[in-house]
Amino acid sequence: MAKLTRRKMLAAGGVAGLAGVAATCKYQTQLHLLRSTPEHDGPIPSGWAASRVQGYRKLGSTGFDMSDISFGCSGLNDPKVVHRALERGINYFDTSPDYSHTESERALGQGIKATTRDKVFVASKFCTPSGHLDSDTPVDEVVKSVEDSLRRIGTDYLDVVHIHAVNSIDRLMSPTIHEAFDRLKETGKVRNLGVSSHTPDLETVMQTAVESGRFDIIMVAYNFKHWPKLEQIFANAHQRGVGVVAMKTLKGAYHSQLSDFTPTERQSFPQAAFKWVLSNQDVSGLVVTMKGFEQIDEYLYASGQSMTDRDLALLAHYDQLIDDHYCRPGCGDCLDSCPSDVPVNDILRYQMYARSYGQERVAMTDYARLDPAHNASQCAGCPAPCEAACPHGLSIRQRLTDAHRELRLA
């Protein structure tokens, strides 16, 4: 029997499938989040087609000026998309060995092959195709992981290598990873050390990273009305010459699903979100996933632009619509209440990748790595103490049960 993917399941389900989703919504206000809503309703604005980078900012003390809106490669498989990004002025590219199981690094390498190497800034991760390296990974294995990335990209060096998705100070300051970085830097294979995080301990991790003096760049989940301490951390980073790169700037990217959004609001939301992030002058730039030519056109339309009152009103409207649905990165208040140690925030992020970004394969792969004793299969008969602990009133048990059904390959 052929395996059933979530995309095939949705295609086969049609209207009946959406009706089933509607029936499972604990709160009827969630009905505005049904996936049937088109990403763009009506003609694409003609001004997008000519959009290009209009602003560059200093990336800490690296000596590089990065495009304010830059290229996230998590869904990349076509080098021609990289060519278009370069033509439009993008010069910062963020990839990882586990993005599309190394295909992202390979496609990026082909895409930048004809470009003078010092004109582009290439970021990757301490990682293997199957996932991030643990804090106790031997030094030689850490070094090899980066050398493998260099070979796949076809470059002699990485501009920065990140300790990615850091959720603890122990992993942030792992002696083996830091020793591996020092060896790689000494041989010229890596130039800068970075850290990224979108976990409940994000603020603690980033504050420690900046104050440690070890990190040249921090890549941080940052978006409208979240993480109140980050602005001071960013200011401190700027003062110390640490570059600040924002990610997760679309706050779930639910704009493509909101039936209560007008077509104009749906089309304007990404630009408003980007302009808000870039209104913080301590932010060097932002990285957003770009898989196709259309996204380059759409996203770069916000480059170099200032915030307006209309943008702020749109972001406030978006917040109102997703308030009872969006799992806030950096929260984690529910985690200690789970009797099965289910990583609620991670699973809901995987679900977001599939629903909002169309990255079903990535989401399913990430979910499959979880120990079955701790995945969302444990939630069906659970009394859901997580919901009592959630400060935002999310229907966590239903969301996790849906995620298990959607992300598990039959």
Dmax over CA atoms of the chain, in Å, equals 60
- pLDDT bracket for residue 345 (50, 70, 90): confident
Cβ-based neighbours of 312, under 8 Å, separated by 6 or more: 272, 276
Q: Render pLDDT for 254-270 as a digit per residue (tens, 0 to 9).
A: 887 777 888 888 889 99
CA 55 to chain centre: 22
Residue pointed to by tokens 């990140």: 162
In this predicted structure, the answer to whether residue 178 has a pLDDT above a threshold of 80 is yes
Q: How far apart are CA 303 and CA 306, in angstroms?
A: 9
Q: What is the DSSP letter of 166?
A: -
- Report helix angle 396-407 to 360-368, nearest 10: 100
Q: Render pLDDT for 91-120 as a digit per residue (tens, 0 to 9).
A: 999 999 998 889 999 999 999 999 999 999
Q: How far apart are CA 277 and CA 256, in angstroms?
A: 20
Give the model's pLDDT for residue 140: 98
Q: Render pLDDT for 222-237 as a digit per residue (tens, 0 to 9).
A: 999 777 789 999 999 9
Give the β-pairing of 193-197 and 92-94: unpaired
> CA–CA distance from 218 to each of 136, 158, 286, 346, 363 (Å)?
22, 16, 11, 20, 24
Cβ atoms of residues 15 and 31 within 8 Å: no
Cβ atoms of residues 78 and 107 within 8 Å: yes
In this predicted structure, the answer to whether residue 13 has a pLDDT above a threshold of 90 is no
Give the model's pLDDT for residue 108: 98
Specify the domain boundaries for CATH 3.20.20.100 within the chain.
47-317
Looking at domain 47-317, which of 3.30.70.260, 1.10.286.10, 2.30.30.230, 3.20.20.100 is its CATH number? 3.20.20.100
In this predicted structure, the answer to whether residue 176 has a pLDDT above a threshold of 90 is yes
Cβ atoms of residues 333 and 390 within 8 Å: yes
